[in-house]
Amino acid sequence: MRPADPDDIDARFEALVAQFDKDEIRRMTAAAGSVAPPPGRRRRPAVLVMIAGLVVLVGVVVVLRPGVLERLGIVRPAAGGEDLAISGPVVARPGPVLTPIPDGEEGLFDHGPVPAPAAGPFAGTPAVDYADGEQGLVMPAARALGGLTEKEVGQALQRVRRLLSAAHLDPATVRGGRPEAFARLLHPRQRETFLRHLDDSGPSGTRSWLFSLAPDAAEPVGDVVKVSGETTVSERAGGGVTIGTDYLFVHPVSRTGAPLIVTRVVERHRSEFSAYREGGKLVVWLVMDRSALFGANCGADNGFVHPRFPGDPQGARPSGEPVDPYDRASGVSGKPRCPAALGT
């Protein structure tokens, strides 16, 4: 005979089984043996089916006979007379496997969906639907206008597209390097002015014509910048055409040396170019360039972009009424270079 050990699970189980009379167990065994297996499947041993049935019936007994729970030590009377459930760590003890997994049946337990890969840096923003890089710099169809031929207008539009790409998408320029690609595309007289004032601070500096991350402050995340916007062409007074651009450039960046600290800087950029014929040659001249940076600090005035990361000093944050950086309807005229944003 087994000792009356309250921690002996086998003894508890046998005590529960003993609550059923022999005739009932005999009927369960006979019923289990009479069940035909599905085609192609092996018959389960009757004893396993019987044991499984006993386990179910034991659960019924536990529910209908509260005294059984008390004898098993799962519930004990509290001092005030109410039942007190005992909680604590579950201790696994060696014992028989009551419900073995049949051969050929896998995937019995569903552990839930496999976690998806980490979302990209544009997830949850309108930029996720924007075009990648230069694909977003869509030019209108060329047509003869302002005394220029259709071919000349087309050449002017392509020059503007290349200038926008060099200023806001060129990897060397974005990383804060020398903007050689942009300078080469400027008219020679304008190129000279641009390079002479590239490193100036304040309004005379021309670095602000570009998107250039401040050295050692941030790094691009990946090689995709999202772009959305439009270009328009109209006749220019005095001959030629005026080309206006209005684009959003969404740059994902991380703090230098901390690649897991990622944020986005949204650049709302507007510019105006004149295209006309001078001495028989086509001239494309940058007349106006204006940008507003959302998600950037405003402390520096050297033309470089200083992204704002979580934990940056409050004094470096922009001020003013927060606006939606993805809404181009309000334009950027009259706004500071780095206004407050509702979120980037």
Least confident of 28-32, 89-93, 256-260: 89-93
What's 201-253 look like in SS3? CCCCCCHHHCCCECCCCEEECCCCCEEEEEEEEEECCCCCEEEEEEEEEEEEE
* Whole-prediction pTM: 0.64
Residues 14-41 have a mean pLDDT of 54
107 falls in which pLDDT band (50, 70, 90)?
Answer: very low
* Domain layout of the chain by residue ranges: 9-85, 126-316
- In the chain, the amino acid numbered 171 is P
Per residue in 209-222, pLDDT (tens digit) is: 999 999 888 999 99
Least confident of 37-46, 133-142, 207-216, 287-296: 37-46
Beta bridge mates, 294 = 266
Is 75 or 225 the better-scoring residue by pLDDT? 225
CA dihedral in degrees (239, 245, 246, 251; nearest 10)? -160
Predicted local confidence at residue 11, as pLDDT = 56
